[in-house]
Amino acid sequence: MITLALSKGRIFDETLPLLKAAGIEVLDDPDQTRKLILATNQPEVRVVLVRATDVPTYVQYGGADLGITGLDTLIEHGSDGLYQPLDLQIAKCRVSVAVREGYDYAAAVRQGARLRVATKYVAIAREFFAAKGVHVDLIKLYGSMELAPLTGLADAIVDLVSTGNTLKANHLVEVERIMDISSRLVVNQAALKLKREPIRKIIDAFGKALGQP
Ligand code: PRT
Ligand code: MG
């Protein structure tokens, strides 16, 4: 049996065409079922639905053989024991710094002020500001980062941005782009050895669908 860990929502939706290219069709719609293990048209392949941030954990410890996860999540989790054969070019976005409209971020940085930065992406933020030589106090949040500058919890946030509509709706502006994000295929190293043939088949089919040799 080959187990693929996916999160519901954009990653699941954008993975379906890749699975299809590999001849795999998921038999249930995750939005219509309460099942967490979904069968596919291939009796030897199943999908498990987990929280986006849990995908690397499932694959690392062998709860799943493969998984699809955002680079943001992968960096925060660390890639110990994970083989990363493919950038799937799906669920694209960027990690950016944003502040309240009217907040003079450039001046604060120039003056060497100690910035309070709220984020779910503590590792990415720490590395980014350290490289710039900007002193920051990082405040870890688990969601709704946009609220932090509006309530005085923080001067800035580090968050994912796609269209920018969420920032705009909350009177925030993007002041720095930290990195581009897309989703990656991750594979359990031991599974790759033990189930080499079927896993290779999936990796190759995904690669072919992406136009990679
Ligand atoms: O939502 P939940 O708390 O269950 O988990 P999650 O947010 O970790 O999962 P999910 O499915 O929302 O995101 C999974 C992955 O999709 C992320 O790890 C990213 O790699 C990728 N991705 C791509 C995004 C976005 N685009 C995105 N726009 N993840 C989140 N967003 C959010 C962003 O955080 C912000 O709140 O959408 C909002 C901004 O969107 P715009 O279009 O208004 O800029
Ligand atoms: Mg989300």
Q: What is the CATH number of the domain that holds 175?
A: 3.40.190.10
Per-residue pLDDT of 157-202, as tens digits, reads 999 999 999 999 999 999 999 999 999 999 999 999 999 999 999 9
Asked if 100 and 81 sit in the same domain, the reply is: no
59 pLDDT tier (thresholds 50, 70, 90): very high
176 shares a domain with 116? yes
pTM of the model: 0.96
Ligand (nearest to CA of 120): 1
Sign of CA dihedral 209, 72, 76, 24: negative
Nearest C-alpha to atom 13 of ligand 1 is from which residue? 52
Residue with the smallest CA separation from ligand 1 atom 20 is 70
What is the whole-number distance in angstroms between the Cα of residue 14 and the centre of ligand 1?
Answer: 13
User: Same structural domain for residues 170 and 104?
Assistant: yes
For residue 82, the cross-strand partners are 188
Distance CA 85, CA 79 (A): 12
What is the per-residue DSSP string for 59-104?
HHTTSSSEEEEEHHHHHHH--TTEEEEEE---S-EEEEEEEETT--
- Beta strand 136-140 with 93-100 is unpaired
Ligand 1 pocket check: which of 93, 97, 165 to mutate, most ligand atoms within 8 Å of Cβ?
93
| 63 and 133 belong to one structural domain | no
Mark whether 171 and 188 lie in a shared domain: no
The average pLDDT across 53-81 equals 97
13 shares a domain with 82? yes
Same domain for 30 and 45, yes or no, is yes
Q: Are residues 114 and 165 in the same domain?
A: yes
User: What separation in Å is there between the alpha carbon of 44 and the centre of ligand 2?
Assistant: 30
C-alpha 10 to ligand 2 mean position (Å): 9
Same domain for 117 and 42:
no
When divided into structural domains, the chain yields a total of 2
Tell me, yes or no, whether 126 and 156 share the same domain: yes
For residue range 4-34, list pLDDT tens digits in order: 999 999 999 999 999 999 999 999 999 999 9
- What pLDDT is recorded for position 212? 78
Question: For tokens 């929280």, what's the residue?
Answer: 51
Q: What are phi and psi of 33, to 5 degrees?
A: -125, 155
- One domain, residues 176 and 196: no
- Residue whose Cα lies nearest atom 28 of ligand 1: it is 162
Whether residues 165 and 194 share a domain: the answer is no
Range of the structural domain that residue 111 is part of: 93-181
Q: According to the model, what pLDDT value does residue 213 have?
A: 67
162 in contact with ligand 1, CB cutoff 6 A: yes
Q: Which residues pair with 40 in a beta bridge?
A: 26
